[in-house]
């Protein structure tokens, strides 16, 4: 496999047990693939929901001494003032929007799609939801941050997702993406979209990973915002 965007394999998919009337698109973290998250989501699945876990393209990552690994965009540093890969983030968001469009073509309206992700994938899901013209059902943002935050307005956004529901989750012992990043992100989100629709949950003793309690919160959020229609 070479490191261009066309080489990413097809997403890992957990099909709906019956006719799919809703979808969750979930983006993995740096250096991972969609397989682990597709298994985790299979454990909390609802019968009418299709779960799509794409794999990031392989590319050199500055933070990891330019070693090539699955990555949605380049990460240069992990401090709040680190330089960001603006072109890469915007291109990755376009790729996610294309995935959403594909599901719409498959017959699932965008407002029946939840976008989610963990770490770098969560960051991309937040950025995509806040910049897309596709109306989404919600965002699940795990152990992450808002990329290119300075590019957003001071105050409410005007897009179709200004009322979007967001579930943001973070372990309180995260050594990679500190809890403070999550707290700053939730404050920024509440200034941009309806604050009543932003939920922030923290998990005691959890590092840069997920836990059963978090997955139950994710399931509850998905079930609430993607109820069965038939």
How many alpha carbons fall within 13 Å on the CB side of residue 141?
31
Is 225 among the catalytic positions?
no
CA angle 223, 55, 112 (to 5 degrees): 25
User: Which of the residues 48, 174, 210, 225 is marked catalytic?
Assistant: 174
| Count of other CB atoms within 10 angstroms of residue 156 | 12
Distance CA 228, CA 220 (A): 13
- Of 173, 168, 167, the C-alpha closest to 208 is 173
How many alpha carbons fall within 13 Å on the CB side of residue 173?
8
Is 174 among the catalytic positions?
yes
Is 119 among the catalytic positions?
yes
User: Which of the residues 110, 119, 143, 210 is marked catalytic?
Assistant: 119
What positions carry a catalytic annotation?
119, 174, 208
């Amino acid at each position: 496999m070479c490191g261009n965007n066309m080489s990413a394999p097809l997403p890992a998919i957990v099909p709906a047990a019956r006719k799919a009337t809703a979808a969750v698109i979930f983006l993995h973290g740096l250096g991972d693939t969609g397989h682990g998250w597709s298994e985790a989501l299979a454990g909390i699945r609802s019968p009418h929901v299709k779960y799509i876990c794409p794999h990031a393209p392989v590319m050199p990552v500055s933070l990891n001494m330019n070693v090539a690994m699955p990555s949605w965009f380049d990460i240069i540093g992990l401090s709040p003032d680190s330089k960001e890969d603006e072109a890469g983030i915007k291109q990755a968001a376009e790729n996610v929007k294309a995935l959403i469009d594909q599901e719409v073509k498959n017959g699932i309206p965008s407002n029946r799609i939840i976008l989610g992700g963990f770490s770098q994938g969560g960051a991309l899901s937040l950025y995509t939801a806040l910049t897309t013209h596709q109306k989404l059902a919600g965002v699940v943002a795990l152990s992450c941050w808002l990329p290119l935050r300075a590019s957003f307005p001071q105050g409410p956004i005007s897009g179709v997702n200004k009322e979007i529901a967001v579930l943001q989750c973070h372990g309180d012992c995260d050594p990679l993406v500190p809890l403070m990043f999550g707290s700053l992100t939730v404050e920024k989100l509440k200034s941009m979209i309806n604050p009543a629709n932003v939920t922030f949950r923290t998990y005691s003793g959890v590092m840069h990973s997920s836990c059963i309690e978090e997955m139950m919160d994710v399931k509850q959020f998905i079930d609430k915002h993607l109820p069965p229609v038939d």
